[in-house]
Chain A
């Protein structure tokens, strides 16, 4: 567990350095994810220890969003006075985005109807 956590932190650290050096408009962990991904591609497999540690972390992914979400209590007033535009925008745009991207991706990943490998997807 500990070596794996160290690998994750090292990738994140490398990501932070890259972001600052290149002035990228992205958070370090996202670049860290790219770095780890490239490392796995080069290595050709996921070490068993890392695989286990990652399963444990992602198994409790939901926990990690709680502290930031509790911040909703600070903005209850502002949200309440503009509840209608906020609710409509969040609901409408999220539904629209899910439908549009889901349909588009499904259409693009479907093999053509006259193809022979129709059931592979």
Chain B
């Protein structure tokens, strides 16, 4: 009997089915918990789902690569979903027509503040060079951030982790931080979350409303573009 279970497990552990199913299960459980507890930002569904999956993989001794073989089908949809952000953006067209010079100015200064302050803080606390370089592009969406890290000599997969942590800070604390800073304008709230915390901040902004979500989605692409141009320049200038 236990030999049967063992052989079933060996089959499942190497098939993409397990990674995919566990991702969907963990996500739905995390969403259920999030809704049940009154949508508290601290119970961020991504954070809770990731904690469950990491716990499960470690308990079963499964490697990340094996998990990703299945989960990549979900990961792939990040591309079309990014394209889809054009629709909420289009719904805000009239607002955008009035605001684009401001948006551009804010995105450019935000990209510099995000990259420079992260590197400066880590450097002042004795962070190693690989950490500094992996931190520099942390505010932009995963695919862009990993590309920048590779170009400036950081470690792309470590950058992916920094990007995620940054997203979590923005998604969990962003609402409170904006309240404390007395930022009430919905466009400003969304833009700030999108600039500082890319797609994960945008998930949070979409929960705040369509205006905030649209400006956050707009910020993902613009901040990615600005950072991809500015950060390599800043790094070569500091060196």
Contacts and interface: CB of A to CB of B under 8 A. Distances in A.
Interface of A: 5, 8-9, 11-12, 15, 25-30, 32-37, 40-41, 46, 50-51, 53-54, 57-58, 60-75, 78-79, 82, 84-86, 88-106, 108-110, 121
Interface of B: 19, 23-24, 26-27, 31, 45-46, 49-50, 53-54, 57-58, 64, 67-68, 71-72, 74-75, 77-91, 93, 99, 102-103, 105-107, 109-110, 113-114, 117-119, 121-123, 125-128, 131, 135, 138-139, 141-144, 147-148, 151, 157-158, 160-162, 164-167, 169-170, 173-174, 177-178, 181, 183-185, 187-189, 191-193, 195-197, 199-200, 202-203, 206, 213, 217, 220-221, 224-225, 228-229
B126 A29 contact: no
Contacts of B188: 101-103, 105-106, 109
A106 B184 contact: yes
Contact of B64 (A12, A71, A94): A71
Given A66-B49, A93-B117, A98-B192, A71 B160 contact: yes
Contacts of A82: 127-128, 131
Q: Is the interface of A mostly helix, strand, loop or mixed?
A: helix
Contacts of B79: 12, 28-29, 32
Given A73-B54, A89-B121, A102-B189, A67 B106 contact: no
Contacts of A15: 83
22 contacts: A25-B228, A27-B144, A32-B82, A54-B87, A60-B27, A61-B199, A61-B203, A65-B46, A65-B199, A66-B46, A67-B72, A70-B71, A78-B158, A86-B127, A88-B121, A92-B118, A98-B181, A99-B177, A100-B109, A102-B191, A103-B181, A105-B102
Contacts of A54: 84, 87-88
Contacts of A9: 80
B87 A50 contact: yes
Contacts of A35: 83, 86
A65 B171 CA distance: 13
